[in-house]
Amino acid sequence: MALLGIDVGTSGCKVVAFRENGEVLSSSGKEYPFITPRPGWLEIDPEKIWEAVCTALGEVGRDLREPISALAVTSHGETLIPLGRDGRPLTFAIANFDVRANRYVAFFRERFDPFHLFSVTGMPLHGMYTVNKILWLRDHEPEIFERTWKFSCVEDFIVFRLTGEEPAMDYSLASRTMMFDVRRKAWAWEILEAVGISKERLPRVLPSGTPVGSLREDLARDFGLRGKILVATGGHDQPCGVLGCGVSSPGEAMYGIGTSECVALNIGPSPFLTKEMMENGFCCYPHVTEGDYITLAYIASGGSLVRWFRDAIAPDKKQEARELGKDPYRVLFEHLPEGPVPLFVLPHFAGSGTPYLDEHSRGAIVGLTLAASRWEIFRAILESLTYEMKVNLDLFEAFGLPIVDLRAVGGGARSLEWLRMKADILGKTLLLPETEEAVALGTAILAGKAAGIFAHAREGIAAMVRFRGKVEPSLERHETYGRYYSVYQKVYNGLKEVHELLSMLQGEEESREE
């Protein structure tokens, strides 16, 4: 019997079928476009998301030679999909990184002590959360606000379409709305009251790996699937990835090295909701494993910064790779000089992540001389992304959240050179899961739990997660990198005022253009 994980991201979805031992049987991925009606606005057509999921499910279904017992859905967080009473979206989805609702941070500051809000929701006050998008809809699209039956996110929208049952989402995704009480594991009444909506206008909330219904018969026929297929709650994509790379105990963490970089740390059965966590932008919310909580550290740039270097600084190597039939990133790494290099890159090209959450911060290259080569800049990008993550991990450990090891997943985990660099800078062992599809695998484990194949998520880890190796740090290189890291730690604060002034200038220019 097969288990399916459906992973719905911001720009595409992936459907992966696994055997109960973790072997990949079939997979399919489909993309959908962003809509950017104004600068800073980011929308997605929910029907395009649904079409992509259906297409990928159909391709996997037609490819499989064995029946599916269950599937679960994971998705990115914060995106808002207002649904009418007929279950159809009333407007395009307001995507997670859309900035139009940022001004509602002031709305909450006027009504709540920020630490009280953090103590209830586990989310540091920020404009990206779903509740702010609902407020924007209330004030700017009042007719749509009034007509909305369910203020839905992506996981529950897809589960609803697959089953026809009332929308339901898991605790981890509900937390990303900033309307969820992470201790009580229920909608937070005081926040709903402030916003002016009832819990009846929100999806049901259930533990991850809970059955919601069965795949609609008409869809099963369309997808070429046989038998009754259970559909279950999955979770927010980051904790699903944590589960899929075998994290089962406090101190174990996933290091996602993709378009952005993220470390997701299992902090155990008690929420860790201190002022220090809030002040450094670290969230704390229910994990997809039973009773555990999770926290995240992230850099908005990651692989996207490597892609920028490829396209803006080394386009000739991209062409060379095409002519040689090689992966263009592999060609870049062939030119990587020995390190560390005396250059630093502040990797805030797409804004900062934790611990700063600074909307004004920009990217910068520091330490350039006439002798600097583009390949030294390339290495500085790779090193500095890891320095930036070390800033976060050092704070975790200072707060009493030790990190035992990191499980590396994502496109960046394919580069042994970069993994060695990361292990040396962080002074941590990197474990390498066998599958790159950690998010889908974690979601499939939750499907197996819902179907009764696994008694709990940890049993699913034992059955389905395998590792292909590990990268150990060099003590000597770690000590050398430590001297460079002490300099890197001064870069953000040294440029903070400059970036605020640049942001002000840009705002003035945009105002004149309007």
Q: What is the pLDDT of residues 20-29, one digit of tens each?
A: 999 999 999 9
Of 241, 250, 86, the C-alpha closest to 172 is: 241
Give the integer Cα–Cα distance in Å for 47 and 262.
29
Question: For the segment 402-438, what is each residue's pLDDT rounded down to a tens digit?
Answer: 999 899 998 888 889 999 999 999 999 999 999 888 9
Indicate the fold that domain 2-237 takes in CATH.
Answer: Nucleotidyltransferase; domain 5 (3.30.420)
Predicted pLDDT of residue 396 = 96
**Nearest 5°: CA angle at 206, between 205 and 212?**
105
Query: For the residues 361-380, what does the mean pLDDT come to?
Result: 95
Question: For the segment 468-478, what is each residue's pLDDT rounded down to a tens digit?
Answer: 999 999 999 99
Give the integer Cα–Cα distance in Å for 360 and 501.
9
> Where in the chain are the domains?
2-237
What separation in angstroms does the CA of 164 have from each of 156, 157, 159, 217, 401? 11, 10, 8, 11, 42
- Say whether pLDDT at 116 is over 80: yes
Q: Convert 417-442 into a string of H (helix), E (strand) and C (coil).
A: HHHHHHHHHHCCCEEEECCCCHHHHH
Predicted pLDDT of residue 431 = 95
| Cβ neighbours, 10 Å, residue 370 | 4
- Say whether pLDDT at 455 is over 90: yes
Q: Name, in order, each residue with C-beta under 8 angstroms of 450's C-beta and a sequence gap of 6 or more.
A: 70, 72, 209, 210, 211, 230, 232, 233
Predicted pLDDT of residue 258 = 82
Query: For the residues 78-100, what does the mean pLDDT come to?
Result: 94
- Say whether pLDDT at 161 is over 80: yes
Share of the chain above pLDDT 70, in %: 99
DSSP string, 491-509: HHHHHHHHHHHHHHHHHHH
Predicted pLDDT of residue 232 = 97
Give the integer Cα–Cα distance in Å for 22 and 444.
9
Predicted pLDDT of residue 506 = 76
Predicted pLDDT of residue 470 = 95
Q: What are the tokens at 65?
A: 């030679």
As a whole number, the mean pLDDT across the chain is: 93
Predicted pLDDT of residue 89 = 97
Question: At 124, is the pLDDT very low, low, confident or very high (cuts 50, 70, 90)?
Answer: very high
- Say whether pLDDT at 86 is over 80: yes
- Say whether pLDDT at 512 is over 90: no
Question: At 377, is the pLDDT very low, low, confident or very high (cuts 50, 70, 90)?
Answer: very high
